[in-house]
Structure 1
């Protein structure tokens, strides 16, 4: 192998690792977002975890975060919680930053 091949493999491995960490952070963010929303909706006990899992699953509908945003925002509105789409977006950003740090730490 040449030095170029070694560098290329190194970049590919780093890219794969970065993608895996981002996937984990997004899933962690979605679970935390689900728990946050469940608390606002007054869910308790096993219903909190069930709702958080539903939020995680909703992320597989479309690429990006819009499917998660739509689910949580619509569920909150449907429960009578006074929240804006901007509030949910800000919470998603805050929780993603926290999740990225947690994933980095292991």
Structure 2
């Protein structure tokens, strides 16, 4: 085995680990977003848990955050919560930081 092969394997391993961590951070962020929105909609604990799971699943519909933003905006508006896309995107940024903090602290 050459040094080049070792380096290539190390880069591939790091890439896979980074991709897995990015997926976990996004899933955790979406769960946190679901609880954030559930709190604004004044849902019960059980409803909030179910809603957070629905937000995690909503992210699998298409690449990027637009599907999550649309779901949150629609649900919050329907519940009579005064919000807009910029507030939701700000919450996404905040919850991304929190999700990263939680996951990096658990390793």
Q: With structure 1 as the length reference, what TM-score do the two structures score? A: 0.96
Q: Any stretches of 5+ residues in structure 1 without a counterpart? A: none
Distance 1:15 1:102 in 2: 21
Kindly state the Cα deviation for residue 45 of structure 1 after the two structures are TM-superposed: 2.2
Q: TM-score, normalised by structure 2?
A: 0.95
| Aligned counterpart, 2:78 | 78
1:18 maps to: 18
**Structure 2 residue runs without a partner (length 5+):** none
Aligned residues: 106
CA RMSD in angstroms, aligned pairs only: 0.8
SS in 2 for 1:18: helix
Please list, as runs of the form range in 1=range in 2, the aligned pairs for 1:1-106 lying within 5 A after superposition.
1-106=1-106
Cα deviation per residue 1:23-74 (whole Å; 9 max; x = unaligned)?
Answer: 1110000001000001101111200101001000001100111111110111
